[in-house]
Amino acid sequence: MQNLSDPFDVCVVGLGYVGLTLATALASAGLRVAGSERSQDVVDLIASGQSPFHEFGLDEAIQAVVSRGKLVPFSLEDGTPVADSYVITVGTPVKNGSVYLEDLKSAVSAVADVMPDGALTVLRSTVRVGTTRTIAEPILKDSGKKYAVAMAPERTIEGKALAELSSLPQIVGGIDENSTQLASELFARLGVEIVPVHSAEAAELAKLASNTFRDVSFAFANELAYFADQSGVDVYDVVRACNYGYDRMNVALPGPVAGPCLEKDAYILSNSADVLGVEVPLAMQGRKTNEFIVSHVVNSLLPDMNSHTPKVSILGLAFKGRPATSDTRGSLAGDFAQAMKSKYSVTDVAGWDPLVSVTDAQKMGIHFDELDEALKSDVVLIQTNHRFFSSEEFYSALERNEQPGRVFVDLWNQLDAERITSMGNRLIPLGRKIIDVKDALV
C-alpha cells in the first residue's frame, strides 16, 4: 500500500467518468497522480487495471499508468492523500430542480484537512456560478493554511474523453492571479492550450454556457421536428436546405437530448440566476422543449394498437449512440418505457443495446432481451443513433426475424426506409412523413 503522506503531484477526488479520465490523462502526461474515490469497488477495479465504465481506450491507458505506479487509487475510507494540487471531480446532480453540492463540500473539506500549505484546489465539477468563491474558498480558508483555488470545467464528450483531454483548450479561472496561474500550469501538463479567464465565476459560467448552448440548439431542431410531424413537412429536407451553402446557419438534426450533463446544466444555470434574482427563460425553454420529446413521441408518433395488447421494445438504451457509451444516466429510454407501458397497458417493455448492462436496463424498468427476441415485437422504438442500427448485422437480424406489420419508430432517421418497408414493416420517423410498405422514401 502506498504511503498517503508521501506527496503526489496531484490528487483527483472522485473517480467517475470525469475524474478517472482526467487522472489517467495527467498520469499519462508523467505526473504522479493519486485518485481518491468513495466506492471501494471502483478503487479495486482501477487498481486491477480496469475501467468501471466503457470509454474508448481507457482500459489500456489505465493499465499502463497503474502498472507504472503513476496512478494510485485510494478509497476515501483510507484517508485523502497529500498532494501539491487537488482536482475535485465529484458528481453535482440536480435534485428537485436544485444542484446538490454536498459531495463537493465534503470533498473540499477532506482536502482542506490534509493539504500542504499553499496547495492548489481546482473545481472540475459543473457548479452554480459563485461556488468556487462562496463555497469552496471559505472551507479552505478555515483550515488556516495558505491556499489557491480555481475552476477549470470539464468539457469532454463521453466516448472521446481521452482524445479530447489531449486536444481541447482548457478554460481556467481562479479567485486571484496566483490561483489562475497555478491551475493553468497544472492543466498545461496535458499539452493543450490554456484559455485563462478573469475570474472563477467566468469559468463556471463558461461551462454552463457551453452545455446550455448545445441544449438550446438541439431544442430548436426538435421544435422544427414537432412542427414537421403536425404539418407533414419533412424536417430533414428543411435542415438540409437551410444549411446547404449558407454559412450563417448550422441547424442540428432532431432526436432525444439527454445524459448526465445536458439534462441538468440549464437547471444549474437557472439556479445561478435565482441567486441574483434574475431569470434565464431561453435556457429553461430549451430544456423543456427537449424534455417534451417523450410526450410528443407517445402522442404523435407511436401507433394506436386497439386490436390487441402489443409486444413493445426499445433499441438503444444509453443516453446517446454517438460516440458510443454504456452510460444510461439521464437516458430517456426509461421515460419512453414508462410512457409505452401506460399507452399500451403493458407491464413489460423489452430492450436491447450494444453496450448497456442488463442491470442498468432493469433500473430503467426495461427487461433486457436478446436482440432477436426484442425484434419480435409489434412496436420497436429506435432510441439512439448507435451505428449498429445502420449496420448489415442489424439488417441480418431483421431478416432472421421478419414480422409483417411490425412498426419501427425511428427517432434518428437511421433506418433505411426501402429495406425496412420491403420486409413488410411500417416506418415512423421523427419529423418525417409516415412511411408504409407502399410508400417507401426514395
Ligand X SMILES: NC(=O)c1ccc[n+]([C@@H]2O[C@H](COP(=O)([O-])OP(=O)(O)OC[C@H]3O[C@@H](n4cnc5c(N)ncnc54)[C@H](O)[C@@H]3O)[C@@H](O)[C@H]2O)c1
| Residues of the shown chain interacting with ligand X in the complex, contacts defined by CB under 6 A | 13-19, 36-39, 42, 76, 89-92, 103, 106-107, 125-126, 154, 158, 260-261
- φ/ψ of 340, rounded to 5, equals -70, -40
Determine the angle formed by the axes of helices 200-231 and 265-276, rounding to 10 degrees: 120
Q: Tell the smallest beta-carbon distance from residue 81 to ligand X (Å).
A: 11
Q: Tell the smallest beta-carbon distance from residue 138 to ligand X (Å).
A: 17
Nearer to ligand X, 38 or 341 (CB): 38
Nearer to ligand X, 165 or 361 (CB): 165
Cα angle value 150/287/330 (rounded, 5°): 75
Report how many helices (DSSP H) and strands (DSSP E) the chain contains, helices first: 18, 16
Question: CA 326, CA 157: separation in Å to the nearest integer?
Answer: 13
Q: Tell the smallest beta-carbon distance from residue 328 to ligand X (Å).
A: 12
Nearer to ligand X, 105 or 367 (CB): 105
Q: Tell the smallest beta-carbon distance from residue 277 to ligand X (Å).
A: 25
Record the cell numbers describing residue 101, joined without a space.
453540492
Q: Tell the smallest beta-carbon distance from residue 435 to ligand X (Å).
A: 36
Q: Tell the smallest beta-carbon distance from residue 410 to ligand X (Å).
A: 26
Contact of 301 with 292, CB cutoff 8 Å: no
- φ/ψ of 367, rounded to 5, equals -90, 110
Nearer to ligand X, 49 or 303 (CB): 49
Question: CA 218, CA 255: separation in Å to the nearest integer?
Answer: 8
Nearer to ligand X, 126 or 414 (CB): 126
Question: CA 173, CA 132: separation in Å to the nearest integer?
Answer: 10
Question: CA 361, CA 243: separation in Å to the nearest integer?
Answer: 37
Q: Tell the smallest beta-carbon distance from residue 4 to ligand X (Å).
A: 14
Cα angle value 119/124/129 (rounded, 5°): 105
Q: Tell the smallest beta-carbon distance from residue 414 to ligand X (Å).
A: 24
Nearer to ligand X, 72 or 415 (CB): 72
Nearer to ligand X, 39 or 243 (CB): 39
Three-state secondary structure call for residue 272: helix
Nearer to ligand X, 135 or 238 (CB): 135
Nearer to ligand X, 254 or 260 (CB): 260
Close Cβ partners of 171 (under 8 Å, ≥ 6 residues apart): 152, 153, 155, 195, 197, 203, 206, 207
| Amino acid, res. 231 | S
Contact of 92 with 103, CB cutoff 8 Å: yes
Q: Tell the smallest beta-carbon distance from residue 39 to ligand X (Å).
A: 5
How, if at all, do strands 71-75 and 98-99 pair? Answer: unpaired
Contact of 45 with 62, CB cutoff 8 Å: no
